[in-house]
Structure 1
């Protein structure tokens, strides 16, 4: 299923940053910078909450229900360490895997009724593509923020994910 592979890329790319940040001074996770987000931890919190929003949409929750949970998810996403937010992402990945296990066709129609943007006729794979694109955009923010602090970002291009899959299949 293409949607599941796209999501697995998203998980892999996030993991590249979790692993990179665990090699750095732990203070970098919360260090304040002048950027789109004020800290690396805020970027991960944002990605986490938005992933939860769209998972709710995929499983059929209406936006009133989803939005009623966002404040709790924001609090849940506040993490003192990279390891703490990584653990939250691991649990969220399990929830996404549960969703993928139930989907018969990623091309099945999905109607999203957003209170601000209206009704959207889409498919599961298009929403997963949005989730992945959103994460990719914000991992770009992470790369810029780390560069601003004097560090390199992680290589998270999709092609590197494909190479990692290929190498894993060959046992390398």
Structure 2
């Protein structure tokens, strides 16, 4: 598959997340899970939220039902409860591989997918737009981490 703009944006998302993990791992023990007064209670909570949301959108892009998506997200959230920064980074690495597999198998990122949400009803999304949303959401929350560290 030729790298299109959406895939390039996703590659940036992976790179930027990697930078956050590299920085947080260098900080004193405890900073990752310390309770802070912010939008999120800890850096870990931000990173887990970002991880869960990236899973959600990948499942929607793959055509999973919203019920299956919610189940998978909750299962994976449970798997990362109490996990170290290095462990969470490994989970992110596995998720990046899942996205790469999706990109390798999806020939048309301009294709529309339909998802039914219990509150929002039937929604139509262009895959490339969802990928841009994933990246923008990640940028926003990496900003939360930056603010929390300052």
- TM-score of the aligned structures, taking structure 2 as reference length: 0.93
Encode CA deviations 1:55-80: one digit per residue, 9 max, x unaligned.
11011101011112232121123243
Counterpart of 1:164 in structure 2 is none
2:125 and 2:57 mapped to 1: Cα distance? 13
Of residues 142, 145, 161, the one that matches 2:145 is 142
Structure with greater Cα Rg: 1
Q: How does 1:22-171 map to 2 (within 5 A)?
A: 22-147=25-150
RMSD: 1.2
| SS of residue paired to 2:36 | coil
| SS of residue paired to 1:135 | helix
Q: For structure 1, which runs of at least 5 residues remain unmatched after alignment?
A: 148-172
Contact 1:109 1:122 (8 Å CA) reproduced: yes
* Equivalences, count: 147
TM superposition shift of 1:81? 2.1
Counterpart of 1:14 in structure 2 is 17
TM superposition shift of 1:6? 1.0
TM superposition shift of 1:26? 2.2
Q: For structure 2, which runs of at least 5 residues remain unmatched after alignment?
A: none
Encode CA deviations 1:2-61: one digit per residue, 9 max, x unaligned.
221111111111011111112111210011101111111111111001111111101110
2:74 and 2:106 mapped to 1: Cα distance? 28
1:31 and 1:49 mapped to 2: Cα distance? 20
Contact 1:77 1:85 (8 Å CA) reproduced: yes
Encode CA deviations 1:80-99: one digit per residue, 9 max, x unaligned.
32111110000000000000
Contact 1:107 1:125 (8 Å CA) reproduced: yes
